[in-house]
Amino acid sequence: MSPLLFLGAALAGGIGAVLRYLVDLGVARLAGRRFPWGILLVNISGSFALGLVTAALPDAAFLLGAGLLGGYTTFSTAMLDTVALWRDGERQASAFNAVGMLLLGLLAAGLGLGLGALL
């Protein structure tokens, strides 16, 4: 891989991180911060998009997958949110965030792969 491709992936990762912040902020304004709906949406949509890109655009998978979507999605924030919910006594919300994100992410990635294979 060329140095320009690595630079492009790094820049795309920065763009993805800004997009994640904006989506999370926008969703929090609409739904409040009691539950991390924004991060859930980011990770599910990112899982779908990565599946789609991987199947439909394999030559762009590094730039878009590792770069843009790597910066967009966030496992660490999701886990911190899950722990914070648990710590605040929101046991059901914490369990939903952890298990729901995993199951919905798997479903979204599978749908993205399936749709991408059709394109």
Residues 6 or more apart whose Cβ sits within 8 Å of residue 20: 39, 42, 71, 72, 73, 74
What does the block give as tokens for 94? 């914490």
Give the long-range contacts of residues 15-19, CB within 8 A, separation 24 or more.
15/68, 15/71, 16/67, 16/68, 16/69, 16/70, 16/71, 16/72, 16/73, 17/71, 17/72, 19/71, 19/72
Model confidence pLDDT, tens digit, residues 59-117 = 999 999 999 999 999 999 999 999 999 999 999 999 999 999 999 999 999 999 999 99
Known binding residue 73? Answer is yes
- Enumerate the domain spans of the chain: 3-118
Task: Give residue 1's pLDDT.
Answer: 84
Distances (CA, A) of 68 to 14, 19, 65, 94: 7, 9, 6, 28
Task: Give residue 113's pLDDT.
Answer: 98
CB 17 within 8 A of CB 71: yes
Task: Give residue 8's pLDDT.
Answer: 97
Model confidence pLDDT, tens digit, residues 10-63 = 999 999 999 999 999 999 999 999 999 999 999 999 999 999 999 999 999 999
Task: Give residue 96's pLDDT.
Answer: 97
Task: Give residue 39's pLDDT.
Answer: 98
Residue with the two structure tokens 């990112």: 46
Known binding residue 71? Answer is no
- Other beta carbons within 10 angstroms of residue 67's beta carbon come to 24
